[in-house]
Amino acid sequence: MSTDPLSARTELARELIAAEAEAIAVVARQLDASFDAAVDLVKSVTGKVVVIGSGTSGAVARRMAHLLSVCGTPSFFLIAADGLHGTVGAVTTGDLVIAISKGGESAELSQFVQLATDRGARSMALTANLSSPLAEQVDLAVLVDSSAADPGGVIAMGSTLATAAWGDALAIALMKERGYGWESVLHSHPGGAVGKYAAELLETAEQKLPTR
């Protein structure tokens, strides 16, 4: 094992990763009654969950929609800007829009939410700014704030990882409350290694799901 001192770049990498890990821990400590309200709101949906975001938040929105679907909450991702050119037509009464925006000031998100509301959908925002225009227009605004972990306060690294973790918690909470079992999870995932080793995975999956 090498005893050479770490290079400056490795030290920088360690500091960044540690800061991002703390960002997720910060959001875990922020969880309050708004998380329960979010779970209840999603459970009340009779249609689909539509997750939107711009930039890095858009990447997190796509991931969140995928994992919600994997865990038994039918969801899909839409590019908010494209929605203003017609694809908001996919949103109908009974749907829920989850908008992700750190600052809550992305005009295309607010406009998308307004159009979706006009079409009968409900709305939720995940944001670090509860006083933002987006937060003030939705049915439920949830604080997800780890902005201090973003380099320069600009590059959305730690904050979006923390938002992704919040979404993971939502997906698992809904999975457990819906009684969406591992058989269902594996049925919708016949491809890749998961599909190939489904029987073996089924034997141990329940032991690995958080229980508290």
pLDDT of residue 209: 60
Q: CA–CA separation, 123 vs 140, rounded Å? A: 7
**In CATH, 33-180 is 3.40.50.970:** no
| Dihedral over Cα of 199, 43, 121, 139: its sign | negative
Range(s) of the chain covered by CATH 3.40.50.10490? 33-180
Element (H, E) at 175: helix 158-178
Strands 96-100, 75-77: pairing is unpaired
8 A C-beta contact, residue 102 and residue 205: no
One pLDDT digit (tens) per residue for the chain, 212 residues: 455 678 999 999 999 999 999 999 999 999 999 999 999 999 999 999 999 999 999 999 999 999 999 999 999 999 999 999 999 999 999 999 999 999 999 999 999 999 999 999 999 999 999 999 999 999 999 999 988 888 998 899 999 999 999 999 999 999 999 999 888 888 888 888 777 777 777 777 665 666 55
- Specify the pLDDT at position 208: 61
Global pTM value: 0.90
> By 3-state DSSP, what share of the chain in percent is helix, strand and coil, each rounded to 5?
60, 10, 30
